[in-house]
Amino acid sequence: MSKKSSGLFTLVTGVVMGAAAVFFSKKENREEAKKVVQKVKAKASKAAAEYKKNPTAFKKKVISKGKQVAKKAVVTVRKKVATTAAVKKTVSKTKKK
């Protein structure tokens, strides 16, 4: 007996595969993707070498960078919430007139 959700999974998988086929059908997209993969591979190799050299320092660096990214995300979300609240307040005042 098959699961009922398998049809949805199959559909989504088919859509994703179709989109990938369309994307990679153009030579310029394949070349761009190859460049991106090469850059990521180089960064991963560099990170692996840095970790092997000094795991403790690497751990501290990653934690520090993670905290910076988290703080930036919080600030961005707070600004977005404040902006949304201000817009809602303005719209509310406009509707009352």
Please give the Cα distance from 68 to 63 (Å, whole number).
9
Q: Is the pLDDT of residue 1 over 50?
A: no
Taking alpha carbons only, the member of 73, 76, 46 closest to residue 61 is: 46
Tokens 């949304």 found at: 84
**Domain positions in the chain:** 9-53, 55-97
Tokens 């991963």 found at: 44
Q: What is the pLDDT of residues 69-91, one digit of tens each?
A: 999 999 999 999 988 877 777 77
Q: Is the pLDDT of residue 47 over 80?
A: yes
The pair of three-digit structure tokens given for residue 55, joined into one six-digit string: 């795991």
36 confidence band (pLDDT: 50, 70, 90): very high
- pLDDT of 7: 84
For residue 39, how many other CB atoms are within 10 A of its CB? 10
The pair of three-digit structure tokens given for residue 38, joined into one six-digit string: 């090469």
pTM of the full predicted structure? 0.53
Mean pLDDT of 10-16: 93
For residue 46, how many other CB atoms are within 10 A of its CB? 10
